[in-house]
Structure 1
């Protein structure tokens, strides 16, 4: 058995990440987000979920070393039978967090979510996203849903101190045309949307893709925001901590990693930007620099 056939489908997808087209990355992200179940659906269902044509899926399957979509599914079923990913384990009912050691147990669950993120988001995918955000020739537009917009806001606040051209889109759709009309083909639109998705974000992503041609990145979960159909890049994060409330821990970790990576892409430019930024901030009327230094000076 050759190396391709002996490695898992997950490994082959990751190894092929740098050679995938935009459409193929959508397929790869969808499969990795709910591995292996998404790929065990019909090719028509996978096409509908990702917004990619069936022929594109067939080409992707061939690129990762399978002899067709049915061959892909046979190999995934074989992996399951070998016990590498048991559907019974993955789909079993979740236990409530114990109250005697609630915090410790909950943190342990978040640690498992973080580990899952490292398995579903490849280094190549992270590198692509970081490079897009760090490119000074691109404007970056950010927006999230009713809850997840706080994550978009957190990222935008930090990116503004690192580089120019950062726009946090208003959550009021009445102001969206102004942002959309400003977008160029080289610009990046980063949308955060997790389950109980925001229908307006789906319409916004579609409008941008059709009318402006900017690069749309959707950060979502394994169930896939409808906005992902219009995305050039999809980052599917684990959000299930086994409680009534989904966790955004993986999203925050991803955002913080991006902030550090983008800031270090051109550290001399970042240093100058922060120095100039703080010079203006400290000079603002009513800003008492002496009283705000140290632990009172929030970055």
Structure 2
């Protein structure tokens, strides 16, 4: 899924053309996508050797995805790589001014456009499949985010814990990760949030999990694709750009809240029983604290 205001990444364009490609061109596409975007940064001769197709076939493939030649193809890949690492200071240079309205009104309109785009382009079947995996009580679910997105990972963790057991929010300290990785089984789910200015340690974690534990990884990222996506069975590329100095997290939160609602409805009877039991314990602890003269715990 591409972000609403652009023409789409090369990855999106390759996927869009996949059914129209010849067998040889599909080989090229698969090699490039398997290690995107780095798979397209080698020489045309090396790519031909790896795919066992001719250089002219690569040239025809490049033309089909809208590039003026192999050099243009690589230039666009490099541009995408640069976009992955842009800071607010760099984004400020290309910031779009408000469209004749107060900042809050204009900002809200931009958010609405991006959320609408996400809703219209989200692969619904994949969304349902991931929700089914999360709702399966026999599976452990491990959740982790990056420097900014871990707060959204926590939001998902908090709500899922009230619906079912075996939900684990992994801490940010890599020294503590082995305890969680050792619990992972092949049938388990690992949800990783990682948006641009990606964190290399999350990609290293995903690589290790895919090799040693073979759990199903779900990557929630942006259109430039976190390296984590290379190891994920399911990838959600969520819009984060608003043409301001700051990327938005609102679409990430929208996706998470939709997952929460969908998972809760898949077995509402079990969800209701879990919440009722959860609340009985919470309220009894609050009453005990009041009777003992303690302070009431903070609300969630």
Taking structure 1 as the reference length, the TM-score comes to 0.71
Once the 2 structures are TM-superposed, how far is the Cα of residue 38 of structure 1 from its aligned partner?
A: 2.5
CA contact 1:117–1:238 (8 Å) conserved in 2 = yes
Deviations 1:60-82 (A, max 9, x none): xxxxxxxx9888766665xxxxx
Q: Distance in 2 between matches of 1:297 and 1:146?
A: 24
Residue aligning to 1:12: none
The 2-side partners of 1:70 and 1:263 are apart by 49
Match of residue 286, structure 1, among 285, 289, 296? 289
Map of 1:210 onto structure 2: 211
Alignment check: 8 A CA contact 1:117 1:237 kept? yes
Give the aligned partner of residue 185 of structure 1.
186
* Structure 2 Cα separation of the partners of residues 267 and 69 of structure 1: 52
Q: Which residue in 1 is equivalent to 2:147? A: 146
What is the match of residue 49 of structure 1?
36
Within-5 A mapping of 1:99-178? 101-178=102-179
Contact 1:120–1:236 (Cα < 8 Å) also in 2 = no
Residues 250-274 of structure 1 show CA distances to partners (whole Å, capped at 9, x for unaligned) of: 1000000000000010001001000
SS at match of 2:36: helix
SS at match of 1:247: coil
Distance 2:201 2:290 in 1: 39
- Of 3, 6, 11 in structure 2, the residue corresponding to residue 38 of structure 1 is 11
**Where does structure 2 lack aligned partners over 5 or more consecutive residues?**
15-27, 40-46, 52-56, 67-75, 77-82, 84-93
Deviation larger for 116-125 or 39-48: 39-48
Is contact 2:2-2:9 (8 Å) kept? no
Equivalent residue, structure 2, for 1:10: none
Give SS of 1:283's match: helix
1:19-54 per-position Cα deviation (integer Å, ceiling 9, x unaligned): xxxxxxxxxx689997363255773543321799x9
Question: Structure 1 unaligned runs (5+)?
Answer: 1-28, 59-67, 78-86
Query: Which moved further from structure 2: 174-183 or 29-38?
Result: 29-38
- Normalising by structure 2, we get a TM-score of 0.71
Are the structure 2 counterparts of residues 72 and 257 from structure 1 closer, same or farther at C-alpha, using a change threshold of 3 Å? farther
> Does the 8 Å CA contact 1:161/1:277 hold for their aligned counterparts?
yes
- Provide the residue aligned with 1:231 in structure 2: 232
Q: 1:200 Cα shift?
A: 0.7
| Distance (whole Å) between structure 2 residues aligned to residue 286 and residue 99 of structure 1 | 54
Instruction: Classify the secondary structure of the residue corresponding to 1:218.
Output: strand
Match in the other structure for 1:249: 250
**How far 1:233 sits from its partner (Å)?**
1.0
Take 1:39 and 1:69, find their aligned partners in 2: how far apart are those partners? 18
Give the drift of 1:286: 1.4
Deviation per residue, 1:135-169 (Å, 9 max, x gap):
11111000000110000000000000011110000
Pair 71,164 (structure 1): closer, same or farther in 2 beyond 3 Å: farther
Q: What SS is found at the alignment partner of 1:216?
A: strand
| Structure label with greater radius of gyration | 2
